[in-house]
Amino acid sequence: MGDNETKRFLAAKLYESGKLSLGQAAELAGLSKSAFTEILADYDVSLINHPTSDVKRDAEQF
């Protein structure tokens, strides 16, 4: 695994864990936000990354 691949993997996993925002993770990976969103699936990471409890709470506000 090369340096770029390692950075992308790390960025994807930090995004998945909520430690980095999408923009921060894309910057770490050295990609634009749109390019970063396209590689997330390569690492089994979902673009929509919110706990179910947060989604339910937000839905109740409507």
Q: Are 39 and 5 a contacting pair, CB within 8 Å?
A: no
Contacts 24+ apart (CB under 8 A), 30-37: 30/4, 36/11
pLDDT computed for residue 61 by the predictor: 82
pLDDT per residue of the chain (62 residues) written in tens, 0 to 9: 799 999 999 999 999 998 999 999 999 999 999 999 999 999 999 888 766 676 677 778 87
The answer to whether the predicted template modeling score (pTM) of the entire model surpasses 0.85 is no
Structure tokens at 44: 């089994």
pLDDT computed for residue 60 by the predictor: 84
Task: Please give, one letter per residue, the 3-state secondary structure of the chain.
Answer: CCHHHHHHHHHHHHHHCCCCCHHHHHHHHCCCHHHHHHHHHHHCCCCCCCCHHHHHHHHHCC
